[in-house]
Amino acid sequence: MAMDSVDVCIIGSGAGGAPLALELGRAGFKVVILEKGAWYKQTDFVHDEIMNSRRNFFMPLPWDEPHLWRTEGQPYTRSNEAWTANCVGGGTVHMSGFFYRLKPIDFRMKTELGAPKGSNVVDWPITYKDLAPYYDKAEIELGVSGNAVPHPFLEPRKGNYPLPPLAEHPVAPEIDKAAKSLGWHTIPTARAIISQPYRGRDSCVYCALCGSYGCEHGAKSSTGASLIPAALATGKVELRAKCMAKEITVDAKGLAKSVVYIDADGVTQEQPARIIVASCTAVESARLLLNSKSTRFPNGLANDNGQVGKNLLFSSFGQSKATFSVSKRSKDLPWLTSPMPFVNRSLQDFYVMPDERFGFRKGGTLGFMWSHPNPIFAAVGLAKKGENGVFGKALKDKLRTYRDSRILEFEIYGEFLPTDTTYVGVDGTVKDKYGLPVAAITIKRHPLDFTMTKFLVERGEEVLQAMQPDRVDRVGTAGETTILQGGTCRFGKDPGTSVLDPDCRSHSVKNLYVVDGSFLPTSGGVPLTLTITANSFRVAEKMVASLKKG
């Protein structure tokens, strides 16, 4: 059933969709947000590992809504890889909230560092200076805690974070000492968690369960806790949860006309709008556009040049862990018994390499943290050790040792080079529970990704070893973090090689925008949530001005 038209219909309520809705509502425009997931309240967020991490509270079940995943040349398998979260607020609800800005060089990688052979690295059509005011705005509107200290790769900024840093575990200065002994510079990690009451929200209670969980106090600065309530308060924004977008339709002129969606009752509805915005994640926005076929766009909406779904980006991932025995070491290392959950230390000395001596130029960030306390996750990991696994008494013994340990780890957020061999398509032979062709993801990494990640892991292990743990275990050097995603609808000035213009508007469909991570030409060496949010505020300012002009 077709409804009355609105000014803007936004598909998705996460880091991209929510800022846009807020600014449009403030400007007096009528907005409808369609969110495929549930609208959870704070009382729904409980510390239940099975519900949150092993069921479909956030991620859909692969037999209901699969993604197809393959390494190039291999057959597809059903997976829930590259889903972020299906709920109001998207992946910002269960994120850990590690918030970093990109650096000026990230916007000019091709010019400054060159494009490695076999990659599709390009410069951005905007600069860091263009985005900087919106980084400021995003940090204020969301609520970010931190302390910007001088270091070799500190990005230009007007001032400090809007909230003081969270209280740190006493291991943080020990990491500082270890890194300093190696000649490196640790920095406090900014967090999208409020350290004191802020805009009607309660401050953090230091429960240790941020990543993989929603915050029952509203202290985590998800869009569901911050921007969405503010948008609804304007009286101009309506949010419809459990509404799955099927297709974006077009009129006779090739302009976006409406969103056809399945509502919470399973009824097909149609929402017309002057402007339509996709913000479903890089994978799912590409899927929606590719599934939106018409006589004018037989290969998918805005896909005249065949670039929708191309240059998919994740974040290069590596990890190692240092184990300290509490019973044996706590006298010498009294900080082992502190219950404080946040380490909040990062290392960016290898964000850009001065030359090619180590085989790469663009690196990334090391983030230090305590190992996640989920007990089932830990038990499953221990049981998988060795060639044949560990069971019975042997597994119980390992669990006893684990419970007597503090495990300090680091994760790598590394550049993920765009290539022709990592992309999203759709597969009409496999459909989800809504009857829609699913996203089919093919991945083949650029070899420099692995060179870089291994180097950064080795440097992180030097820091851990300098702290004299009982042992250091390498988890891996060749992974990818698929909840951090971009590309698929990259923005640029050339309509032949990009899907979106510099304002994230489709080159070929002038009233269609994409504001999730799809616009990103490159991945940077940090998690991308803050950048996606800042860019959405930037696009919102342009869109409001355009709408006011009629």
**Residue of 414, 420, 423 whose CA lies nearest to 476:** 414
> Quick one: how far is CA 18 from the chain centroid?
15
Query: Does the residue 268 lie in any domain?
Result: no
> Quick one: how far is CA 141 from the chain centroid?
18
Q: How far apart are CA 38 and CA 54, in angstroms?
A: 17
Query: Which two structure tokens, joined as six digits, stand for 140?
Result: 């204020």
Query: Does the residue 13 lie in any domain?
Result: no
Query: Which two structure tokens, joined as six digits, stand for 246?
Result: 């099927």
pLDDT class of 385 with cuts at 50, 70, 90: confident
Query: Does the residue 509 lie in any domain?
Result: yes
Give per-residue pLDDT as tens, 42-67: 999 999 999 999 999 999 999 999 99
Averaged over 301-307, what is the pLDDT?
98
- Residue 206 belongs to domain with CATH number: 3.50.50
pLDDT at 1: 64
**Contact assessment for residue 219 and residue 194, using Cβ atoms and an 8 Å cutoff:** yes
**Contact assessment for residue 300 and residue 289, using Cβ atoms and an 8 Å cutoff:** yes
Percent of the chain with pLDDT over 70: 100
Query: Does the residue 71 lie in any domain?
Result: yes
357 — alpha (psi -120 to 50), left (phi > 0) or beta? alpha
Contacts of 268 (CB under 8 A, 6+ apart): 1, 246, 260, 261, 262
Structural domain total, the chain: 1
pLDDT class of 386 with cuts at 50, 70, 90: confident
CB half-sphere exposure, 392, CA atoms < 13 A = 2
Give per-residue pLDDT as tens, 201-219: 999 999 999 999 999 999 9
DSSP per residue over 242-281, as a string?
Answer: S-EEEEEEE-TTS-EEEEEEE-TTS-EEEEEEEEEEE-S-
Residue 113 pLDDT exceeds 70: yes
What predicted TM-score, i.e. pTM, was given to this entire model? 0.98
Averaged over 111-133, what is the pLDDT?
98
Query: Does the residue 253 lie in any domain?
Result: no
Per the structure, the complete domain to which residue 502 belongs is given by 57-217+279-548
Query: Does the residue 92 lie in any domain?
Result: yes
Residue 2 pLDDT exceeds 90: no
Strands 31-34 and 6-11 turn out to be parallel
Query: Does the residue 231 lie in any domain?
Result: no
Averaged over 180-190, what is the pLDDT?
98
Query: Does the residue 174 lie in any domain?
Result: yes
